[in-house]
Structure 1
Amino acid sequence: MRVTIAGAGAVGRSIAGELLENGHEVLLIDKAPKAISVEGVPQAEWLLADACEIASLDEAGMQRCNVVIAATGDDKVNLVVSLLAKTEYGVPRVVARVNDPRNEWLFNEAWGVDVAVSTPRLMSALVEEAVSVGDLVRLMRFSQGEANLVELTLPPEAPLSGARCGDVAWPRDTALVTIIRGNKVIAPQPDDVLQSGDELLFVAAPEREEELETLLSVRQ
């Protein structure tokens, strides 16, 4: 898979390193000469250019990319890169970094964003996830499809503790994707039995979150 990352700061370089280790081709673009640190990620391709300019994206071969990651520290730049990648080059998957949570509402399909990643919101959600049992925690929003990745740790008194996954009438537009039990990651099957303490990860439509929390919590 070929991935272009706009923004070669600490975030962009870290993402590039992970993707390269997984066998992907990576191009890092940045307009600041001091950000071009080839020795930091020597396996990547590098381009000193403004990712908001069509000429730069042409030079980068954006039409050959499978994924574009807008990872700069400027939300305006990330939105422009996302929009150009999707509308001008038809990139199948666009992931954008949200620096200011107040701007998160802009990072949607209209701006070409498939997945918006808000670092402050994600860190806050992970803190909530670590201390919350029985409360639904939103971890990530998927712009395309209007769905969220949400988590709930099943409390001991929950009515569904001991129920088979296949017997539960889950809300519409909701899918249980993973059960984390101790150090095990379980791909849920109909015969799997829910246990108190299970960390349940769902992809759910936003309007179904309250219904899902009511179903799983002890407050019914």
Structure 2
Amino acid sequence: MKVAIAGAGAVGRAIARELLVNEHDVTLFEKNRTHIDPVAVPGANWVHADACELSDLEAAGLQTFDVMIAATGDDKANLVVSLLATTEFAVSRVVARVNDPRNEWLFNEDWGIDVAVSTPRMLASLVEEAVTVGDLVRLMTFRQGQANLVELTLPDDTPLAGKAVRRLKLPRDVALVAIIRGRRVIVPQSDDPLEGGDELVFIAPEESEDELHQTIKAPI
């Protein structure tokens, strides 16, 4: 997969390293020449360019990329990069970093963004996930499909203990994608039994979250 990353700061470089480990073709766009350091991310391509400038993106051939990641420390820049990538270059997947949670409402499909990642929100969600049992915790929002990645930890005395996954009567358009049990990550099969303490990870539209929560809380 060919991935462009706008912003070669600490965040952009860290993302690039992770993608390179998985053998993706990664290009870092950085407008500050003094920040360009190929030795810092071996294997990545570096382009001295302002990702908010249409001419620079044209020169770099952004239309040939599969993914654009707007990872600068400036929310305004990330919005512009995302919009250009989608509307001018038809990049099929756009992921944007949200620096200020107050701006999160802007990071949606109107700006060409498929997934918005807010570090403060994610950290808060992880804290909630670590201490909350029996409540639904939203981990991430997928903007393109208006769906959320949500988690619920079953209490030890859950009425679902010993019941098969197929017995769950999930709301429409809700999918159970993983069961985390201790250090195990289980891809759920219909006959797999549930246990108290299981972390259930779902993809669900926002309007189905309350129904999902009630379904998991109610005995079968």
TM-score range, shorter chain: over 0.9
Provide the residue aligned with 1:66 in structure 2: 66
TM-score, normalization by structure 2? 0.96
Provide the residue aligned with 2:129 in structure 1: 129
Q: For 1:164-179, what aligned pairs fall within 5 Å after superposition?
A: 164-179=164-179
List per-residue Cα deviations over 1:81-117 (Å, max 9, x = no partner): 0111011111111000011111111111111100110
List per-residue Cα deviations over 1:90-147 (Å, max 9, x = no partner): 1111000011111111111111100110000001101111111111111000001100
Provide the residue aligned with 1:120 in structure 2: 120
Contact 1:159 1:216 in 2 (8 A): no
Structure 1 unaligned segments of length 5 or more: list them.
none
Contact 1:70 1:97 in 2 (8 A): yes
User: Secondary structure of 2:39's match?
Assistant: coil
List per-residue Cα deviations over 1:138-180 (Å, max 9, x = no partner): 1000001100000011112222222211121101121000001
Matched residues in 2 for 1:37 and 1:72: separation? 16
Structure 2 unaligned segments of length 5 or more: list them.
none
Which has the larger displacement, 153-162 or 203-212? Answer: 153-162
Partner amino acid, structure 2, of 1:141:
T
Provide the residue aligned with 1:34 in structure 2: 34
Contact 1:70 1:81 in 2 (8 A): yes
Contact 2:169 2:215 in 1 (8 A): no
Provide the residue aligned with 2:196 in structure 1: 196
Provide the residue aligned with 1:80 in structure 2: 80
Contact 1:157 1:218 in 2 (8 A): no
Partner amino acid, structure 2, of 1:27:
T
User: Secondary structure of 1:193's match?
Assistant: coil
Matched residues in 2 for 1:198 and 1:94: separation? 32
CA RMSD of aligned residues (A): 1.3
User: Secondary structure of 1:39's match?
Assistant: helix
Contact 1:158 1:216 in 2 (8 A): no
1:215 offset after TM fit, Å? 2.0
1:218 offset after TM fit, Å? 6.8
Matched residues in 2 for 1:60 and 1:20: separation? 20
User: Secondary structure of 2:197's match?
Assistant: coil
Provide the residue aligned with 1:104 in structure 2: 104
Partner amino acid, structure 2, of 1:151:
E
Matched residues in 1 for 2:32 and 2:134: separation? 46
User: Secondary structure of 1:103's match?
Assistant: helix
Contact 2:85 2:91 in 1 (8 A): yes
